[in-house]
Amino acid sequence: MTPDLHNELTARKAELLSFLKGTSLATGAQPPTVKRVPRAGELSLSFAQMRLWLLNELERGSVAYNLPSLVHLRGNLDLAALDCSLSEIVRRHEILRTYYSSAGGHPVPMIASPEPFQVSVVDLQGLSEAAREKEAARLALVDARQPFDLGKAPLIRATLLKLAAEEQVLLLNVHHIAFDGWSHGVFLKELSVLYKAFLQGQASPLPDLPIQYADFAAWQREWLQGDVLKRQLDYWKERLSGSLPVLELPTDHPRPPAQTYNGETVSFVFSKTLTDALKSLSQREDVTLFVTLLAAFKVLLLRYTGQVDMLVGTPIANRNRAEIEGLIGFFVNTLAMRTDLSGNPTFRELMQRVKDTALGAYAHQDLPFEKLVEELNPKRDISRSPIFQVMLSFLSPAQPLELPGLEPSRLEFHGEGAQFDLSLYLGETGQGVTGWFSYNTDLFGKGTIERMVEHYRTLLEGITARPESKLSELPLLTLPERHRMLVEWNDTRVDYPEDVLLHQLFEAQAERTPGAVVLAGPSLTQASTSQASWTYAELNQRANALAHYLQTLGVGPDVLVAVCMERTVEMVVGLLAVLKAGGAYVPLDPAYPRERLAFILEDTQVPVVLTQQRIAPFLPGYHGRVVCLDDPNLQVEIQKLTGDDFRFSSNSGDASHLAYVLYTSGSTGKPKGVEICHRAVVNFLSSMRAAPGMAAQDTLLSVTTPSFDIFGLEIWLPLTTGAKVVIAPEEVTRDGRELAALMRQSGATVMQATPSTWRLLLESGWEGNRHLKILCGGEAWPPQLAEQLLPKCASLWNMYGPTETTIWSTLHRVTRADAAVPIGRPIANTQVYVLDGRRQLVPAGVVGELYIGGSGLARGYFARPELTAERFVESPFAANARLYRTGDRARWLPDGTLECLGRVDQQVKIRGFRIEPGEVEAALARHPAVGQCVVVARDDARGEKILA
Ligand code: AMP
Ligand code: MG
């Protein structure tokens, strides 16, 4: 035993003893010693054995409870001595030759009389060295996967793979019903002693065992009853009271409906320096190394899940009675270590909490876990293990195997199954703390677990450097990982015309392609059925004229002008003219409920509203200037002002002035105006031209209401590229068949819409168009949408972005339909971060809140400084930079794309409208009859309600 190990064990024992002194266990109900029971009567199974036996009955042929191990032996092996040694071990330990006869579904342990044990030998010496190793590995697996028949003794087998004259591998396999980790140590120790003695022709120097496993089983059945059982149960029932937490580790794959046991492992070694630091910290804080490592593991899980009620299982050797220390058998028990991590304590405080958890658990370790599960009878979710989902095992140091003339080395062999979502095995070797994670491969990919190892290491280093840190402050990310998130995945810097205004981009285009058709769609000045079709020059000229007129009304930089119009070509003239005059437009959907229109007009105090004659009478309580673009008198006024220049020359501000203010819903139910400047839109458009892309020959069919910011893409992207926009009439956008017809008729090559609209199209039998570029975003994609759309288009894009960061901030080209659709990567000059509640980076794969920075950020909310300060926060990563808190839950996937996973709050989106929690209730309260439908908008002019 190394001195370190000795200290560790002494410390643990002392801890336990000092604790026991204060408990009733120690004072009153000292358990009786284990005594030998007669072998003539029926023997008992221990509780744990009973469970394994039942599991084995349920799943015949299962190898989940095989305990295989490997030893590599270099040197001259005496096979006869080995056989004799194993024979003697099996003779000494009845449990190894116990079998279980099943009488009417009830198992009865029967002890077979001792027989000579023979190691099977497989000679691989004929193979080449490479082939030998491969074959040895294969045979090891085959053996590990070979089930035991519990009805036949012995429940141990050994195979010797002869690799060369002086090189062999010993495969050992024992069923768990007769063995455990501690037993393995006993086994190796006895093997060392016996082999040495037999080699020298001596008799076994080992004293006979006074009691055997069967005696322990009888003792356990006898003792764990009545009051003793009740006291143990009461303790655990109290510890595990309330609803048990279910650990929600972020997985790489969707959780299978029923728990699976496919597993893999990732091993690691922590440096001697780190190990020493952990040990001296443990000493200073008067806890064991195990407690420190468990506390750190709990922090890791906390930081991965945000869960503070933390339950981790841990095996306990359960050899706390001298008389059973030397036995082979299934003694190991499982303890559920539940610790409250709330209140963001320091790590040092946590160490004490975990120490208390551990001491309490040790003092009640006699209650078999299976008994506890049976008693608690937790509501079973068959997709997870009961009580806890993650395990930590602290392995006692491997017992050295000492065989004269042989150089044994234990080979790592972790088996294949995974009993839990995740198990962490830790132990101490001369190198330092070493271990491995065993993980369920149906939940996690190897990369995720490899990163987890690094996070654990970083955390432990942080803990030893500053144990007084609060849990939230402890470092988790490695430097390369931080660099990836802060730099590589946000490397979006691209030049764009920073000082050009939005309408100037259009003017330049109009100069380049004056005769090209730019805009087609319903027109106010013509019969309602007819369509206008204008060239760049025509549109520009109309907008110039109206802009001059608006300037006479006082419109200039940062002056807001409401545009409350139906989706017509005139509306586009209106928007463009407001910009040219230097103003910023506030789009209002005429279908908005009256209160909403009234609120926005009141809030903005716009001096001018651009509208149309049919709608003007419905503008509630507005006293400013109402300009109807279909008023014949206005047409006369305006025609006088027509200027021929492509470029509108008067002062119209600079790129930091507002281009539009767009009202979205607010958490108090009051809409709030998002202020977007020219530069943000210009950057956005340059980025969109690169991807998803737009070219002069494209036609975009515009279907979105102008009160969504994404309408900005539909108009400004084509208008600044030389392409054409066709405006779909409002009623067409609500009818899948009509919309499909218009898509064909218009020759659309690009269309942007929310998932709801794409679904509407699909449901109406739309056949798709292999020249079409589909932009889909604004809300989460329903399942199957990708699968349905992919074959129906030229390319498919998921677009993500809040109004506050200008239309879209990330995008993803969708090429596969077999996984959740990511929202992709940030667009040009945009940064995205996934942060925890304390605004620190969370590791890839872990869910946090999405924050966005860069050129797209809004100036703020119109006249709402407090709300602006709350949502637009200082960037922790760059001086003088702001980030917008989206309220969206997201995570990085390992390839540097983002996945959006819903909201931090209760906000929902219905047909692209943001609806805050308060609003949903209000909407439902006002309209209880509509059930699941809520009124999201109302068209007073048409007396219609829009339901979703
Ligand atoms: P809005 O400002 O109305 O565009 O709403 C922005 C919100 O819509 C985001 O914060 C998300 O919650 C949601 N959203 C937008 N696009 C997507 C998308 N592609 N996938 C999932 N959610 C989205
Ligand atoms: Mg948006």
Q: Which residue would you say has higher pLDDT here, 66 or 834?
A: 834
Average pLDDT for 377-396: 91
Tokens of 244: 């048990």
Pocket test for ligand 1, best of 885, 888, 889, 897 (most atoms within 8 A of CB): 888
Query: What average pLDDT score do residues 264-273 get?
Result: 96
CA 919 to centroid of ligand 2, rounded, Å: 19
**Among the listed residues 284, 282, 283, 286, the one whose alpha carbon sits nearest the alpha carbon of residue 296:** 282
pLDDT in tens, 860-909: 999 999 999 999 999 999 999 999 999 999 999 999 999 999 999 877 77
What mean pLDDT, rounded, does the chain reach? 90
Indicate if the pLDDT at residue 943 is higher than 60: no
Residues 6+ apart with CB under 8 A from 331: 48, 180, 182, 183, 216, 317, 318, 319, 324
Question: If you measure from the C-alpha of residue 382 to the centroid of ligand 2, how many angstroms do you get, rounded to a whole number?
Answer: 39
Residue 456, H or E segment = helix 446-465
Would you place residue 546 in the very low, low, confident or very high pLDDT band (cuts 50, 70, 90)?
A: very high
Q: Which ligand is nearest to the CA of 808?
A: 2
Which of 779, 803, 889 to mutate to test ligand 1, by most ligand atoms within 8 A of the CB atom?
A: 779
- CB-CB contact of 748 with 770 (8 Å): no
Q: Closest Cα to atom 4, ligand 1: which residue?
A: 802
Interatomic CA distance for residues 731 and 529, integer angstroms = 12
The gap from C-alpha 822 to its chain's centroid, in whole angstroms, comes to 13
C-beta separation of 67 from 179 below 8 A: yes
Cα of 778 vs centre of ligand 1, distance in Å, is 4
Asked if 73 contacts 169 with a C-beta cutoff of 8 angstroms, the reply is yes
**Does the pLDDT of residue 528 top 60, yes or no?**
no
pLDDT tens digits, residue range 617-657? 989 889 999 999 999 999 888 888 766 577 887 667 899 99
Residue 772 Cα, ligand 2 centroid: separation in angstroms? 22
Q: What is the mean pLDDT of residues 391-408?
A: 90
Task: Give the pLDDT score at 377.
Answer: 87
Atom of ligand 1 nearest to the CA of 777: 19
Kindly tell me the sign of the dihedral angle through the C-alpha atoms of 680, 683, 688, 691.
Answer: negative
Q: Whose CA is nearest to atom 13 of ligand 1?
A: 779
| Cα(593)–Cα(206) distance, integer angstroms | 91
Pocket test for ligand 1, best of 707, 757, 800 (most atoms within 8 A of CB): 800
The answer on pLDDT for 284 being more than 60 is: yes
Report which bound ligand comes closest to the CA of 754: 1
Task: Return the ligand number nearest the Cα of 775.
Answer: 1
E strand or H helix at 587, and its extent?
Answer: strand 584-588
6, pLDDT greater than 80: no
DSSP code, position 396: P
Residue 763 amino acid letter? E
For ligand 1, atom 23, which residue shows the shortest CA distance? 779
Contact between 129 and 167 under an 8 Å Cβ cutoff? The reply is: no
CA angle, 405 then 411 then 417, to 5°? 150
Work out the angle between the directed axes of helices 3-21 and 289-305 (0-180°, nearest 10): 80
For 144, list phi and psi in degrees, rounded to 5: -60, -30
Question: Given this model, what pLDDT does residue 927 score?
Answer: 39
Cα of 853 from ligand 1 centre, angstroms: 16
HSE at residue 345, side-chain half, CA atoms within 13 A, is 17
Residue nearest to atom 5 of ligand 1 (CA): 802
Chain centroid to CA 300: 14
> Best mutation site among 785, 909, 916, 936 for ligand 1, i.e. most ligand atoms within 8 A of its Cβ?
909
User: DSSP assignment of 150-218, as one string?
Assistant: TTSS-SEEEEEEEEETTEEEEEEEEEGGG--HHHHHHHHHHHHHHHHHHHTTPPP-SPPPSS-HHHHHH
Residue 414 pLDDT more than 50?
yes
What is the distance in A from the centroid of ligand 1 to the CA of 693? 21
| Cα 513 to averaged position of ligand 2 atoms, centre (Å) | 30
Which ligand is closest in space to the CA of residue 886? 1
Q: Does position 333 have pLDDT exceeding 60, yes or no? A: yes
Which atom of ligand 1 is the closest one to the Cα of 674?
A: 2
Q: Is residue 9 predicted with pLDDT exceeding 60?
A: no
What is this structure's pTM? 0.87
Per-residue pLDDT at 28 = 44
Give me the mean pLDDT over the 5-17 stretch: 47
Ligand nearest to the CA of 884: 1
Please count the other Cβ atoms lying within 10 Å of the Cβ belonging to residue 786: 21
Whose CA is closest to atom 21 on ligand 1? 780
Q: How far is the CA of 906 from the centre of ligand 1 (A)?
A: 13
Mutate to test the pocket of ligand 1, among 675, 810, 884, 900 (most ligand atoms within 8 A of CB): 900
Q: How far apart are CA 696 and CA 717, in angstroms?
A: 10
CA 709 – ligand 2 centroid, Å = 6
**Tell me, what's the pLDDT at 562?**
98
Kindly give the number of the ligand 1 atom that is closest to the alpha carbon of 804. 2
pLDDT at 27 over 80: no
Closest-CA residue, ligand 1 atom 7, reads 802
Q: Which atom of ligand 1 is nearest to the CA of 708?
A: 3
3-state DSSP helix/strand/coil % of the chain, to nearest 5 = 35, 25, 40
CA of 161 to the centre of ligand 1 (A): 61
- Please write down the HEC assignment for all residues of 543-562: HHHHHHHHHHCCCCCCCEEE
Q: pLDDT digit string (tens) for 651-675? A: 678 999 999 999 997 555 688 999 9
676 C-alpha to ligand 2 centroid (Å) = 13
- Indicate if the pLDDT at residue 11 is higher than 60: no
Distances (CA, A) of 76 to 197, 203, 401: 16, 21, 15
Tell me the two tokens of residue 601.
């007009």
Output the CA 914–ligand 2 centroid distance in Å.
10
pLDDT of residue 2: 40
- Exposure string of 265-299, with b = 16+ CB inside 10 Å and e = fewer, is bbebebeeebbebbbebbeebebbbbbbbbbbbbb
Residues 703 and 740 sit within 8 Å (Cβ to Cβ): no
SS (HEC) of 205-217: CCCCCCCCHHHHH
Average pLDDT over residues 255-272: 94
499 CA distance to ligand 2 middle (Å): 24
Which of 95-109, 371-385, 868-882 is the most confident on average?
Answer: 868-882
Answer yes or no: is pLDDT of 941 > 70. Answer: no
Ligand nearest to the CA of 797: 1
DSSP 97: G
Ligand 1 atom nearest to CA at 900: 21
Handedness of CA 109, 113, 114, 120 (dihedral sign): negative
Ligand 1, pocket residues at CB < 6 Å: 664, 777-780, 798-800, 802-803, 823, 886, 888, 900, 903, 909, 914
pLDDT, tens only, 900-923: 999 998 777 766 677 766 665 555
Distance 524 CA to ligand 2 centre (A): 28
464 has a pLDDT exceeding 90: yes
Decide: 73 and 165 in contact? Cβ < 8 Å.
no
Do 561 and 550 form a contact (C-beta atoms < 8 A)? yes
Torsion sign across C-alpha atoms 243, 244, 250, 254:
negative
Q: Give me the percent of the chain exceeding a pLDDT of 90.
A: 79
pLDDT classification of 189: cutoffs 50, 70, 90: very high
pLDDT digits (tens, 9 = 90+) for 474-504: 999 999 999 999 999 999 999 999 999 999 9
Is the per-residue pLDDT at 924 higher than 60?
no
Return the DSSP state at 694. Answer: -
User: How far is C-alpha 225 from the geometric centre of its chain's CA atoms?
Assistant: 44
Across the range 170-191, mean pLDDT stands at 95
Ligand 1 atom 6 nearest Cα: 802
Average pLDDT over residues 223-247: 93
Label residue 29 by pLDDT band (50, 70, 90).
low
One-letter amino acid at 354 equals: V
Task: Report the chain's terminal Cα–Cα distance, integer Å.
Answer: 72
CB 767 within 8 A of CB 792: yes
Q: How far apart are CA 505 and CA 646, in angstroms?
A: 11
